[in-house]
Amino acid sequence: MIAVTVKRDSSGIREIEITGHANAAAYGSDIVCAAVSAISIGILNGIEPLLGLLPDVEQAPSGGGFLRWRLGHPDDDGLHEKQQLLAEGMVIALISVAQQYGQYVSVHDAKWQGGASQ
């Protein structure tokens, strides 16, 4: 199972950690894994070109199954707000996958616990 854990503080999302494997299908054919990977890597790949910030990302050296994005707090409040918006978008997209494929993905986030519609 893939577990997404969101850590927050008073300024917003502090960290998003994604661990595990969906195991919804054979390697290379797992659409749940592909969805989680596309959402997370797609957002992270956009941070530098969109905001000019280099994201603080840690990944498993091989085999996947681990990704951690630690969000800093840029000196520019506008950049901080934009980074937070991208991070919230990532979380909501991952919640959408978990709502469809809950047996393979879980999201733990105090703000959105129970679903993005709350």
pLDDT for residue 50:
96
Residue with structure tokens 């797609």?
42
CB atoms within 10 A of CB 98: 22
pLDDT for residue 74:
87
Q: Is 33 a catalytic residue?
A: yes
pLDDT for residue 118:
38
> What is the tens place of the pLDDT at every residue in 59-111?
998 888 999 999 988 889 999 999 999 999 999 999 999 999 999 999 999 99
In the chain, the domains with their CATH numbers are 2-108 (3.30.70.1490)
Q: Is 108 a catalytic residue?
A: no
What does the block give as tokens for 39? 């959402």
Q: Which of 21, 73, 80, 108 is catalytic?
A: 21
Q: Which of 33, 73, 80, 108 is catalytic?
A: 33
What does the block give as tokens for 92? 């909501």
pLDDT for residue 113:
76
Contacts of 33-38 with C-beta under 8 Å, sequence gap 24+, read 33/2, 33/64, 35/97, 35/101, 36/2, 36/4, 36/94, 36/97, 36/105, 37/64
pLDDT for residue 35:
97
**Three-state SS for 106?**
strand
> What is the tens place of the pLDDT at every residue in 1-26?
999 999 999 999 999 999 999 999 98
